[in-house]
Structure 1
Amino acid sequence: MTCAVLFKEGLLDRLPAVRGRLSANAPLDKITWFRVGGPAEVMFRPEDSDDLRDFMQNKPADVPVTFIGVGSNLLVRDGGIPGVVVRLGRNFAQIRVENQDIICGAGALDGNVAKVALDNSLGGLEFLSGIPGTIGGALRMNAGAYGREMKDVLMEATTLSPNAEVKTLSLNEMGYSYRHCDLSADWIFLSARLRAHPADQTEIAARMKEIQQARGDSQPVRSRTGGSTFANPDGHKAWQLIDAAGCRGLKRGGAQVSEQHCNFLLNTGEATAADLEGLGEEVRARVLKQSGIELRWEIKRIGLEKGEDQ
């Protein structure tokens, strides 16, 4: 459901000149997988990493900045996102092979990285074909699937520090744990070097096909969803806890817990972000009451609720 909430004009006039594109009240509902949410007060699409660095160095200190990828694991609230939303475009999506490593921009799609590895007979990155989203998002949350996660393949990541300095961080400096990175949100990922290894191309292709088949069989991949909603608690599967709490198929407004995989929330067509978040919180409450286990959101929820001061 499109949200028509708009921010007051004026922020654009306070921002530094850029080589990329700045636009006010930019819709976000069309670029998130849930297809809900309010606008960005200002959207910035930087031309390249130098353009982004210059912007971050020269923007007013009181202007918040939020980075989004393709919105695959993101819930933007109905009141929109204040400040500047940065979306990295094609110049941040380059992928190349260097010896046996894959060098990829933060805006590169995970699936495209897996395909480049396949084309070059490099194994170890097949799991990325089962993760929707971009490398930047995968780095931020230590994304994983089908037995591997980013910490298993990352060699180093190039970042923009909170002081807008380009820094290369090793795997150990990332502070990775299950679906978590120790770096605060004001560290910006620019690119990554991933470790691969020579492998038979036929075997790589077969593994990727197996992953795609398993994903299609178990997940509502053709629905408006935000991917896996809650992280698995230690020793448990989130979907099993949700199912045991009687939440499979549960609805709120236009939002529904998937019948196919109940760790997925769906926009059935007319949901608001409030419907989806409210349904998620109801699921958490029911699971806590039934099992004593508190589920942790894996989907990132950002922005203002509708009517909240902008």
Structure 2
Amino acid sequence: MFDLPDVRGTLTKDRALDSLTWMRVGGPADVLFQPADVDDLAAFLAALDPSVPVFVMGVGSNLIVRDGGIRGVVIRMGRGFNGIEIGEQVVAGAAALDAHVARKAAAEGLDLTFLRTIPGTIGGAVRMNAGCYGTYVADVLQSVDVVYRDGSRGTIAAADLDLQYRQSTLAEGAVIVSATLNAPKGDADLLEQRMADQLAKRDETQPTKDRTAGSTFRNPAGFSSTGQADDSHELKAWKVIDDAGMRGATVGGAVMNVMHSNFLTNAGGATAADLEELGEQVRKKVYADSGITLQWEIKRVGNPKVSDT
């Protein structure tokens, strides 16, 4: 085990991570660090051996941790990073829930309603350039404050993150601590009603009560009528999964949800290996059926479990 610096937050060795993910699977982290605040985080990273890998974890809403766990340090930010400040702009801590940011902004007549139905935190939303209803983080993000792996701090303009569909660029080991968002103005009552309508639509079409991690695969790019590549993503992953006959497919306790076939689900007793294997089977079947290679949207991290035999 590597040496650990003194902290004001909490360090837990050999911490099981399954209870911290929406899918409820995964092995332990060598160390889980829950920093007290930005100063605590920066001091820890500055003192930590630079050879020790670091992984930043939000609320585990878009994550499969493999059964063998994660080597190194997993950083999970909480109360010291969940503040939301509303002014001309919205400044949200990395641990602030997307839904809370949307609701607080709407109450002040600022339109971030697209965040209301996105599971997870602002830090994850920035990293994934999360979006819904045709609006993405890239449309409203001004900048992010980060702590780098060596403990130094900086501010990165949105333009320097190369925000694209479900991806961004960020230096290895860098930790987003807050984001500044430019939100369009709107009527608070109308924004509230829009969010209520969005929630109702989501609950009608998605398995929100099941153990999922949101959309499993990115919507694939299609082709326009002229034969040119089309990045509008009008072709939906669920449709090609259905066409390949994989709605309801199972491996162990994992299932492609019958209500929405792009939701990989822990139906009870699934391991991370079950979930990942089913996902790979879907990818192979879709490719064989349509020639489309589905790309994982769920982040998969850590090591497979070593067999006892």
Matched ranges for 1:1-310 at <5 A: 10-11=1-2, 14-98=3-87, 100-123=88-111, 125-235=112-222, 236-307=235-306
CA shift digits 1:208-266 (9 cap, x unpaired):
01111111111111000011001111122111111100000000000000111111101
CA contact (8 A) 1:79 1:308 kept: no
CA shift digits 1:108-140 (9 cap, x unpaired):
0000001111221212x0010010000000011
CA contact (8 A) 1:119 1:201 kept: yes
Moved more, 196-205 or 266-275: 196-205
Partner residue, 2:229: none
Within 2, Cα distance between the matches of 1:261 and 1:50? Answer: 43
CA contact (8 A) 2:213 2:263 kept: yes
Give, as a single letter, the amino acid of the residue that structure 1 aligns with 2:45.
Answer: M
CA contact (8 A) 1:49 1:190 kept: yes
Q: Name the SS of the counterpart of 2:72 in structure 1.
A: strand
Give, as a single letter, the amino acid of the residue that structure 1 aligns with 2:66.
Answer: R
CA contact (8 A) 1:24 1:43 kept: yes
Q: Which runs of 5+ in 1 are unaligned?
A: 1-9
Give, as a single letter, the amino acid of the residue that structure 2 aligns with 1:137.
Answer: G
CA contact (8 A) 1:156 1:192 kept: yes
Q: Which runs of 5+ in 2 are unaligned?
A: 223-234
Give, as a single letter, the amino acid of the residue that structure 2 aligns with 1:49.
Answer: V
C-alpha displacement at 1:308, in angstroms?
7.5
Q: Name the SS of the counterpart of 1:290 in structure 2.
A: helix
Partner residue, 2:232: none
CA contact (8 A) 1:69 1:137 kept: yes
Within 1, Cα distance between the matches of 2:140 and 2:175? Answer: 19
Tell me how large the CA RMSD over aligned residues is: 1.3
Identical residues among aligned pairs (%): 48
Q: Name the SS of the counterpart of 1:249 in structure 2.
A: coil
Give the 4+ runs in structure 1 shifted more than 3 A.
none
Within 2, Cα distance between the matches of 1:177 and 1:247? Answer: 28
Within 1, Cα distance between the matches of 2:51 and 2:174? Answer: 17
CA shift digits 1:182-221 (9 cap, x unpaired):
2244221010011113311111011101111111111111
CA contact (8 A) 1:107 1:134 kept: yes
Q: Name the SS of the counterpart of 1:232 in structure 2.
A: coil
- TM-score for both structures, normalised by structure 1: 0.93
C-alpha displacement at 1:155, in angstroms?
0.8
Within 1, Cα distance between the matches of 2:109 and 2:163? Answer: 28
Q: Name the SS of the counterpart of 1:132 in structure 2.
A: coil
Q: Name the SS of the counterpart of 1:240 in structure 2.
A: helix
Within 2, Cα distance between the matches of 1:202 and 1:76? Answer: 40
Within 1, Cα distance between the matches of 2:213 and 2:59? Answer: 11
